[in-house]
Amino acid sequence: MKKVLFISTRNPFSNRYSGDVIGSKKIINILKKNCELDVVTLGKKDDFSQNNIFIFKSPVFILKLFNVIKSLVYLRPLQFGLFDSSEMRKFINDRSSDYDLIFFYHIRSSQYLPKNYYGKKIIEMGDLYSNNYKQTFYNLNFLNPLKYIYFLESLLSKKIEEKIFTDFDEIILFSKNEIKEINNSFKKKIKHINISIDKVKKKYLFSNNNQRILFIGNLKYLPNILAVKLFVKKILPKVKKNIPNVKFEIVGDINNFDKFILSFNKNIKFWGPQKSIDRFIKGSFCGLANLEIATGMQGKVLSYMSFGLPALCSKKTAHNFDNNVISYSNDDDLVNKIQKLKNERTFSNKISKKSLSFVKKFIWTKVQNEYLKLIKN
């Protein structure tokens, strides 16, 4: 039986409803059944540790700031500094020779690749982060200092992605469209694996009493908070004219300042991080994914679709879902599509049915076989 080390910079056992947490835990569970597995991750000091799970304390703010500056000096992505731990690096370096395979979860974990490791190296990048950061640069106002930080990060991430394509044996990406952008010399290393859902649950039922527009996602992630703020400022007031009792409800983490500012609108409700979104489907008439900064496959869209909840998406988000979601061309079209989903049973049920059919190929019991092939080869 192969001995495998799994490396993540976010704790897979935190039970947050977050795409990276859910995804990493699924991979860990399949590895446990088929390999002798150790897990190394960053987390809080009071997080549990047990046999084969090694959790290292996330750096404090001052140390993170120092590490970010150090990353800048060495022309490495700034996110590397945010998730840098000398203790975790030493632990990995000291033990790396014990493993037949090391599985790295997301681009920021690649900084922990030992220099003299000769076993198999797999990384799940998921998406091309450099594309995401470039889009963020274009979407921020020129007076916003973050605009220029994201431009720099896009360049530094592009450099690291090219290094990953060289150094790793297998690189996992979710989107076939992004794979097309990669240099042909690396195509043999790239493995397309679908982002996954646990199961399909037909929870959505059309009703004239449904009043909720649902948004799920971590609002500490800039593309999500920008999408929410834009919707609240420009779209929600127009929607309320025809749907006075509409509710915009958000499941996901949010910082206190943003929550305070947005909470002045009585039509908005924040539920914070949740282990499951099942109970939020009842009473919802659509799931929103109005992101203007989007790469790869959006997990939030698959989540909506897995319940049969019609997904309303920006064109950038809808790109990978064909005609199984609803997209819009401008603000007025978005308002009209919201009203149509709220009021037209036939239209809503048609999209719901297409969603349930499309999403079946993303069920974990099917997707996990692709991971098994990589691990066993």
Would residue 54 count as lying in a domain?
yes
Do 171 and 300 reside in the same domain of the chain?
no
Q: Are 293 and 189 in contact (CB under 8 A)?
A: no
| Whether the Cβ atoms of residue 112 and residue 132 lie closer than 8 Å to each other | no
Please compute the mean of the pLDDT values over residues 60-69 and round it to a whole number: 91
Those residues whose C-beta lies under 8 Å from the C-beta of residue 46, and which sit 6 or more positions away, are: none
Lowest-confidence pick of 162-166, 184-188, 230-234: 184-188
Average pLDDT value for the chain: 91
Query: Cα separations (Å) of 331 from 314, 322, 334?
Result: 10, 21, 5
Residue with tokens 């897990």: 39
The phi, psi pair for 37, rounded to 5°, reads -115, 135
Q: Considering the chain, what percentage of its residues have pLDDT values greater than 70?
A: 97
pLDDT of 16 over the 80 cut: no
136 shares its domain with 224: no
Q: Are residues 187 and 231 in the same domain?
A: no
Q: How confident is the model at residue 187 (pLDDT cuts 50, 70, 90)?
A: confident
Structure-block tokens of residue 173: 């990406």
Please compute the mean of the pLDDT values over residues 26-52 and round it to a whole number.
83
Asked if residue 122 and residue 41 are part of one domain, the reply reads yes
Q: How many domains would you assign to the chain?
A: 2
Question: Which of 372, 370, 363 lies closest to 30 in space, CA to CA?
Answer: 372
Is 113 inside a domain boundary? yes
Q: What percentage of the chain reaches a pLDDT higher than 90? A: 71
Q: Are residues 226 and 171 in the same domain?
A: no
Residues in contact with 310: Cβ distance below 8 Å, sequence separation at least 6, in sequence order: 204, 285, 286, 287, 304, 325, 326, 341, 348, 351, 352, 355
Q: How far apart are CA 80 and CA 82, in angstroms?
A: 5
- Hey, how many other C-beta atoms are within 10 angstroms of the C-beta on 14? 14
Residue 92 domain boundaries = 3-193
Quote the pLDDT of residue 151: 95
In a domain? residue 366: no
Residue 68: pLDDT band by 50, 70, 90 thresholds?
A: very high
Rounded to the nearest 5 degrees, what angle is found at the Cα of 357, between the Cα atoms of 353 and 363?
Answer: 135
Same domain, yes or no, for 154 and 119?
A: yes
* pLDDT score for 48: 54
Alpha-helical runs (H) found in the chain: 19-34, 61-73, 78-82, 86-95, 129-139, 146-167, 176-179, 222-230, 236-242, 256-262, 278-281, 299-306, 315-318, 331-343, 345-358, 364-376
Whether residue 180 has pLDDT greater than 90: no
Side chain identity at residue 77, one-letter code: P
pLDDT one-digit tens code per residue, 323-341: 899 999 999 999 999 999 9
Secondary structure (3-state) at 332 = helix
CA distance 150 to 165: 22
Residue 146 has a pLDDT of 92
Specify whether 219 is located in the same domain as 274.
Answer: yes
Domain shared by 176 and 227, yes or no: no
Confidence of residue 185 (pLDDT cuts 50, 70, 90): confident
Token code pair at residue 136: 């963020």
In this predicted model, what pLDDT tens digit does every residue of 200-215 receive, in sequence order?
A: 999 999 999 999 999 9
* Residue 156 included in any domain: yes
Phi–psi pair at 285, nearest 5 degrees? -115, -10
pLDDT tens by residue, 308-320: 999 999 998 998 8
Which residues does residue 24 pair with via DSSP β-bridges, in sequence order?
none
185 and 222 part of one domain: no
Label residue 17 by pLDDT band (50, 70, 90).
low
Per-residue pLDDT reduced to its tens digit, 276-302: 889 999 999 999 999 998 887 888 999
CATH code of the domain in which 225 resides = 3.40.50.2000
What do you get for the CA distance between the two ends of the chain, in Å? 12
